Amino acid sequence: MPNMSLKKNPMPAQEPDVRNKNFYEVTFGYTAETAIDEAKRCLNCKNKPCMGGCPVRIHIPEFIQKVAEGEFEEAYHIIQQTSSLPAVCGRVCPQETQCEQKCVRGIKGEPVAIGRLERFVADWHNANSCDLPVKAEPNGHKAAVIGSGPAGLTCAGDLAKRGYDVTVFEALHLAGGVLVYGIPEFRLPKAIVQKEIDNLKALGVKIETNMVIGRVLSIDELMDEYGFETVFIGSGAGLPRFMNIPGENLKSVYSANEFLTRVNLMKAYKEDSRTPVLHAKKVCVVGGGNVAMDAARSAKRLGAEEVTIVYRRSRAELPARAEEVEHAEEEGIVFKFLTNPTAIVEGENGMVAGMTCVEMELGEPDASGRRRPVVKEGSEFNIECDAVIMALGTSPNPLIKNTTKGLETQKWGGIIADEHGQTSREGVFAGGDAVTGAATVILAMGAGKAAAEAMDEYVKNKAAR
Amino acid sequence: MYKIVKKRELNPTVTLMEVDAPFVARKAEPGQFIILRVDEEGERIPLTVADFDRKKGTVTIIFQIVGGTTERLNHLNEGDFIQDFVGPLGEPSHTEGLKKVAVVGGGVGCAIAYPVAKKLHEQGAQVHSVVGFRNKDLVILEEEFSAVSDVFKMMTDDGSYGEKGLVTDALKALIEAGNEYDEVIAIGPVVMMKFVSLLTKQYGIKTVVSMNPIMIDGTGMCGCCRLTVAGKTRFACVDGPDFDGHEVDYDEILKRASTYKEFEAKEREKACNLFKKEVR
């Protein structure tokens, strides 16, 4: 009997006023009982519209049926056929605009909680199964992947499943890209990321850390000297933007990337961390994306009494996930909409004393279709704060572009690639934020997946010639 | 993991280490740097490449013990391993086409200035070196430096070795004596680089300085190392570390460098206590 409840089973979570003081995961996940119960809400539609909303096309109704039957390990194997990082995606995907948006149950009532079920299955597998993934039969071909973020890891996993000898080159000392340095522990525990990476290693994927491609080795060297027949560039968009306003280089002004890297990758939130981070009392975060939410919520957890998100458009235009905005509000983050900083005020000893802002109003739509914010005359005011975090977005790092002959890029630095990831260089593919500019984890994974398929085809065609 | 193949104390607070890092050694050029993490819990710190041996696959670093991490690093010995060692990072120093250069090194900055002087010497440029230390006990790399210099001036603040005075005194004397330099390259404490730049500006001599702001990743993803050059924000880890000395905002750099002073003092104490216990 299907469960005809109009609502999703709720997700148990830490109380807002408790969780805003620790870095433990906010939500606890479903139990076996609530997962089975939720799975029974799925109608197992014939045309499976949910799958069309998933960038890696997980066989959603199939795995959910297995959950309903209590066959969790089988459910995992179904997900694993198409997704390499289910424990991550179940947590950080914006399901409301992807799989769940297409769910038939969502027409009247709430859609099936596909993301929560995916997360449950992956966590169950990681906690209960000792099965090592079966390594594919080697096909004798070598592939290199640059960057170990979601795009690179997915591409590497898919290539390994096809029998490739895959090496991932990572610039930092830990693999995971934005999953380890960007998304905080309280949204995505690092032990879970590590477990997913271990699963990939068990598939035969080699990961070389401390390798900055473009400095240590070039793409040409990888192909000509080291015998990699095809290369995937998944180096992301890690270059932070600043506003170029006065006072931006004061001591307690951070880019969100710096702040989050200190807190997440270097674990500066821990008492005994050897990497320092300033514990400010009144923090302003400039921007409205997920990164701004992560930075604000992290600052609060480091002990800030007041954290304000300053955004130049209105609530309706916030690019962050609805759930993250709600979580932030519950945790006491203050939002100041239609507000734009014009200067950061210097206090004692080179620290921040406040931020000068102007009020905005929404004018005509701009090229992106969003109404352009314009300054209200004479609306200048000051917000008192002792630290500012700039979360204005990022663009691709120019290092690979500058060191790879014949690799065409957009004016803003994004690598030009078709929908299969093919770049202007033969055998070189690219995907994720390196191509699109800052986007989502799952889009990067979809791009990694598409590229793996195209790379496989390329290598096979070349071998056949 | 990266093996320490040689360790030598250059003076009581400055240590040289030769580290097995073949990928770094293959590409490293003077002016570039590496980022290391001593162990699993370690922070990432930048250190300049002081020398490299492409055949042996080793890279030499020279560091001054100033805080918790350098204290811990100094506690490692030959045969021990450094957890992470990544590079070469940053842009190499531009030495092409220079015929006559004054290289000015201050304190442990001489470790960074030396490979640049060496490369210039190998290219056949005339190298005039001015090195400065607080006192005789702190002198490093004297032999190495003088071997690649056509003129070599040793200065100490207290006159306990070489001439008494600052590097700017010696540089001024050389300029006044009629030496015409294509470029002055100054590497040392920020205050020293600031005053060298102020001096050379008077004579209109192009001056390059090497910046050493706080860094985390060293690959351009965080902007922690940003500084203002000619009114524009630049990232020292990817745009530098070398910049036009006449365009750099030194006062801003000095302020930013002090951001974690209190934390650093505590870290150093923690590291010292740790090793005291081990000795007992």
Model confidence band, residue B271 (pLDDT cutoffs 50, 70, 90): confident
Q: Rounded to whole angstroms, how far apart are CA atoms B107 and A380?
A: 48
pLDDT at residue A105 is higher than 90 = yes
DSSP state of B252: H
Residue A83 one-letter amino acid: S
Strand pairing partners for A422?
A429
pLDDT in tens, A410-432: 999 999 999 999 999 999 999 99
CB A404 within 8 A of CB A218: yes
pTM for this model (two decimals) = 0.94
Whether B88 and A172 lie within 8 Å, measured CB to CB: no
| pLDDT score of A399 | 86
| pLDDT score of B105 | 96
Model confidence band, residue A463 (pLDDT cutoffs 50, 70, 90): confident
Whether B220 and A209 lie within 8 Å, measured CB to CB: no
pLDDT in tens, A191-214: 999 988 998 999 999 999 999 999
CB B223 within 8 A of CB B200: no
Q: What is the distance in angstroms between the Cα of B272 and the nearest Cα belonging to chain A?
A: 14
Whether B84 and A217 lie within 8 Å, measured CB to CB: no
Chain B positions touching A216 (Cβ under 8 A) are 23-24, 26-27, 86-88
Strands A352-365 and A339-346 come out as antiparallel
CB A29 within 8 A of CB A120: yes
- The chain-wide mean pLDDT, for chain B, equals 94
CA-closest candidate to residue B120, choices B60, B31, B44: B31
Q: Rounded to whole angstroms, how far apart are CA atoms A336 and A313?
A: 10
| pLDDT score of A138 | 94
Cβ-count burial B178-207 (b if 16+ within 10 Å, e if not): eeebebbbbbbebebbbbbbebbeeeebeb
Instruction: Compute the average pLDDT of residues A344-351.
Output: 93
Q: Angle between the B190-203 and B167-176 helix axes, to the nearest 10 degrees?
A: 20
CB B189 within 8 A of CB B107: yes
Token couple for A382: 């000051």
pLDDT at residue A342 is higher than 70 = yes
Residue A141 phi/psi, 5-degree rounding, is -115, 145
Radius of gyration of chain B (CA): 18
| pLDDT score of B277 | 64
Whether A397 and B233 lie within 8 Å, measured CB to CB: no
Give, in degrees to the nearest 5, the angle at Cα A352 between A349 and A356. 140
The separation between CA B164 and the C-alpha centre of its own chain, rounded to angstroms, equals 23
pLDDT at residue A103 is higher than 90 = yes
* Chain A interface residues (partner B, CB cutoff 8 A): 171-173, 209-212, 215-217, 238-240, 242, 244, 248-252, 254-255, 257-258, 261-262, 266, 272-276, 278, 349-350, 394, 397, 399
Q: Rounded to whole angstroms, how far apart are CA atoms A379 and A376?
A: 6
The separation between CA A160 and the C-alpha centre of its own chain, rounded to angstroms, equals 22
Instruction: Compute the average pLDDT of residues B216-233.
Output: 94
CA-closest candidate to residue A307, choices A401, A210, A391: A391
| pLDDT score of B264 | 87
Q: Rounded to whole angstroms, how far apart are CA atoms A236 and A258?
A: 16
Beta strands in A204-351 (DSSP E): 206-208, 230-233, 239-240, 253-255, 282-286, 306-310, 334-336, 339-346
Q: At a CB cut-off of 8 Å and minimum separation 6, what does B135 contact? A: B156, B157, B158, B160, B161
The residue of B85, B219, B233, B266 whose CB has the most chain A CBs within 10 angstroms, and thus the best one to mutate to test that interface, is: B219
B88 touching chain A per CB within 8 A: yes
Cα separations (Å) of B47 from A91, B71, B237?
38, 14, 11
Strand pairing partners for A394?
A240
**Four-CA torsion A263, A265, A271, A272, nearest 10 degrees:** -150
| pLDDT score of B155 | 96
- The chain-wide mean pLDDT, for chain A, equals 94
Model confidence band, residue A438 (pLDDT cutoffs 50, 70, 90): confident
Write out the H or E segment, with its range, that includes residue A355.
Answer: strand A352-365
Model confidence band, residue A159 (pLDDT cutoffs 50, 70, 90): very high
Strand pairing partners for B6?
B18
Token couple for A69: 């039957």
Residue A133 one-letter amino acid: P
Q: At a CB cut-off of 8 Å and minimum separation 6, what does A414 contact? A: A237, A395, A396, A434, A435, A436, A437
Whether B259 and A210 lie within 8 Å, measured CB to CB: no
pLDDT at residue A14 is higher than 70 = yes
Q: At a CB cut-off of 8 Å and minimum separation 6, what does A241 contact? A: A390, A392, A393, A394, A395
| pLDDT score of B116 | 94
pLDDT in tens, B22-60: 999 999 999 999 999 999 999 999 999 999 999 999 999
Whether A212 and B86 lie within 8 Å, measured CB to CB: yes
Among A362-376, B8-22, B128-142, the range scoring the smallest mean pLDDT is A362-376
CB B84 within 8 A of CB B73: no
Write out the H or E segment, with its range, that includes residue A357.
Answer: strand A352-365
Strands B100-106 and B126-133 come out as parallel
Query: Which residue of A252, A255, A274 is in closest CB contact with B68?
Result: A274
Model confidence band, residue A464 (pLDDT cutoffs 50, 70, 90): confident
Whether B219 and A274 lie within 8 Å, measured CB to CB: no
Write out the H or E segment, with its range, that includes residue A202.
Answer: helix A190-202
pLDDT at residue A251 is higher than 70 = yes
Q: Rounded to whole angstroms, how far apart are CA atoms A464 and A446?
A: 27
Strand pairing partners for B64?
B14
pLDDT in tens, B180-200: 999 999 999 999 999 999 999
Among A363-372, A438-447, B120-129, B135-144, the range scoring the smallest mean pLDDT is A363-372
B95 touching chain A per CB within 8 A: no
| pLDDT score of B88 | 96
- Percent of chain B topping pLDDT 90: 89
B75 touching chain A per CB within 8 A: no
Instruction: State which residue of chain A sits closest to B68, comparing Cα positions.
Output: A274
The position carrying tokens 């027949």 is: A229
Query: Which residue of A250, A261, A349 is in closest CB contact with B222?
Result: A261
Among A49-53, A295-299, A357-361, A369-373, the range scoring the smallest mean pLDDT is A369-373
CB A333 within 8 A of CB A107: no
Query: Which residue of A255, A258, A274 is in closest CB contact with B41?
Result: A274
Q: Rounded to whole angstroms, how far apart are CA atoms B149 and A162?
A: 59
Instruction: State which residue of chain A sits closest to B38, comparing Cα positions.
Output: A274
Residues in chain A, total: 465
Instruction: Compute the average pLDDT of residues A337-354.
Output: 95
Chain B positions touching A252 (Cβ under 8 A) are 259
pLDDT in tens, A162-174: 999 999 999 999 9
| pLDDT score of A150 | 94
Q: What is the distance in angstroms between the Cα of A249 and the nearest Cα belonging to chain B?
A: 7
Strands B45-53 and B33-37 come out as antiparallel
Q: What is the distance in angstroms between the Cα of A144 and the nearest Cα belonging to chain B?
A: 17
CB A414 within 8 A of CB A233: no
Determine the 3-state secondary structure of B123 from DSSP: coil
Whether A350 and B43 lie within 8 Å, measured CB to CB: no
| pLDDT score of B278 | 59
